Amino acid sequence: MHLLSIDDLHVALGGRTVLEGIGLHIERGEIVTLVGPNGSGKSTLLRAIIGAVRPARGRLVRQPGVAIGYVPQRLAIDATLPMTVSRFLNLPRRHSTRTVRQALEQAGVPGLGRQQVTALSGGQFQRILLARALLEKPDLLLLDEATQGLDHRGTADFYRQIESVRRELGCAVLMVSHDLHVVMRASDRVVCLNRHVCCQGTPERVVASPAYRELFGPDTGDALALYRHDHPRQHDRSVGNPIPPAADTSHLEIAP
Amino acid sequence: MLDDFLVRAALAGLGVALAAAPLGCFVVWRRMAYFGDATAHAAILGVALSLLLSTSIFAGVLVVSLLMATLVSLLSGRGYAMDTLLGVMAHSALAFGLVAVSFLSGVRIDLMAYLFGDILAVGKGDLALIGTGALLVVGLIGWRWSALLTATLDADLARASGVDPKREQLVLTLSLAVVVAVALKVVGVLLIAALLIIPAAAARPFCRTPEAMALLAAAIGAASTTGGLQAAYWLDTPTGPTIVSFAAILFALSSLAGRWRLSR
């Protein structure tokens, strides 16, 4: 049985169809990335999975007992709400101090427990959100553009953390991302979404498909071709090669 | 002891302050200040209706406040900005209430007592109602505390952790209606929202956790009611407004102290 099965899912928001005929299956331990233009329904699909929007039609089945960790796109905590990091991590369920410390270490931000949440940098806060998702001991980790607002190094570091989390917990990861070069590097499977699933498969296959080119334009393809040219090693990714250093990412971003 | 009207007034004030403090924190955190106002203003309509139907005023106010809060929850996010909607609702409810009161010929009611409260006239029955209501609200919020906090942070985040944000919203709406009904006698419809917001706002600069803020807000609320009651006795001023003025002074001092702490 799949960890998560979605069949023929339709979602309408305010009378407008946002998702139609979505079919998607996620297996334990794989990293799947959703790409697609703005308004293509990526966030809505994640929100349907956590149960925040009700599907108009279709099937969405989690394997029984599957724990979900969710890292939202952004979270604005009102400045009037005093909240330490450790208090935030203990919501809504309390965890032992040791577990909280471990989650902070796993997310790459050890020792931040006593800080006020509102005093954190964007990158630190994203990692706190990750730590909170990890405390749920997720079988499926959902990340909605979790690197929004992070610089190139921060983004690369964040995804490296995701990989190591996947290795340690063996959880599946479903993420929405605009960082196309990261998609190439970090995913087992890419799903290209534009209200419906345009194409899905290994990153190589998706980039080569006409549907993808049509959505993202030829420029994107060039950038990725350049990336492939520059980094032949990425073909060995499946056997667990170390990820190229973060500096490469910023180099990539300025490539034409 | 309860035969002394000042003792009854003090106990009534303390009861309301204790219930209003944790609820007021949520009102501040969720930016629902005007929501509290709208619910409170609807109370005057509740007063008029219960006089018209000769039911208990407490019950009338509770029902109308609850209806108002539910209506606002339902209408939010349907074309109008929340503050516009609340502005319309709050003042319409107050206006309709005042109009309805004027139809009550034959019944002489002291309108001022409902607008500004009449804490010195709290009887033993009122005290029992206030105590029960306050315990109910504190119990409800204490029971749902973690879920309420999670839903306050983010609806989707709550949903993903198995907390239904709509249910938690309902808990707050319900508590708000009870606090309005209970506080009507103490500060009156025009100043109930002040009793919710000011202690919570005054507590903010000194707290690192939500729990600390709720406790400190309760302490500030209690200090305001007893201090205001005492001041009103000495100065011979209306009690409800004096209590709120006292709270406002505490708020001013707290924000000055907060600034000073930051600048050091």
| Rounded Cα–Cα distance for residues A181 and B5 (Å) | 74
Q: B65 is in which domain, residue-wise?
A: 5-189
- For residue B115, being part of any structural domain is answered with yes
Alpha-carbon gap: A155 to the closest alpha carbon of chain B (Å): 22
Q: Do B153 and A116 touch (CB under 8 A)?
A: no
Residue B24 sits in a domain whose CATH number is 1.10.3470.10
- For residue B58, being part of any structural domain is answered with yes
Q: Please state the φ and ψ torsions of residue A146, each to the nearest 5 degrees.
A: -70, -15
**Cβ neighbours of B29 in A, within 8 Å:** 78, 80-81
pLDDT tops 70 at residue B181 = yes
- For residue B260, being part of any structural domain is answered with no
- For residue B138, being part of any structural domain is answered with yes
pLDDT tops 50 at residue A247 = no
Q: Could you give the percent of chain A with pLDDT greater than 90? A: 29
Q: Mean per-residue pLDDT for B174-194?
A: 89
Q: Do A80 and B157 touch (CB under 8 A)?
A: no
pLDDT attached to residue B186: 87
Q: Which residues pair with A26 in a beta bridge?
A: A4
Token pair 């009507």 is at which residue?
A: B184
Dump the DSSP string for B110-136: -HHHHHH--GGG--HHHHHHHHHHHHH
Q: What rounded mean pLDDT belongs to chain B?
A: 89
Number of domains comprising chain B: 1
Nearest to B254 by CA among B246, A201, B107: B246
- For residue B29, being part of any structural domain is answered with yes
- For residue B152, being part of any structural domain is answered with yes
Question: What is the DSSP code (8-state) at residue B104?
Answer: -
Q: Which residues of A have a CB under 8 Å from any CB of B?
A: 47, 50-52, 68-70, 72, 75, 77-78, 80-84, 87-88, 91-94, 116, 136, 142
Of A27-36, A183-192, B109-118, highest mean pLDDT? A27-36
Nearest to B166 by CA among B75, B73, B89, B79: B73
pLDDT attached to residue B76: 67
Q: Which of A184-188, B122-126, B196-200 has the lowest mean pLDDT?
A: A184-188
pLDDT tops 70 at residue B61 = yes
Q: Do A83 and B210 touch (CB under 8 A)?
A: yes
Q: Which domains does chain A have, with CATH numbers?
A: 4-67+138-253 (3.40.50.300)
pLDDT attached to residue B26: 95
pLDDT attached to residue B107: 64
Q: Mean per-residue pLDDT for A146-168?
A: 82
Nearest to A157 by CA among A167, A146, A168: A146
pLDDT attached to residue B151: 93
Sorted by sequence, the CB contacts under 8 Å of residue A5 that are 6+ apart come out as: A24, A25, A59, A60, A61
- For residue B258, being part of any structural domain is answered with no
pLDDT tops 70 at residue A230 = no
pLDDT band of residue A256 (cuts 50, 70, 90) is: very low
- For residue B242, being part of any structural domain is answered with no
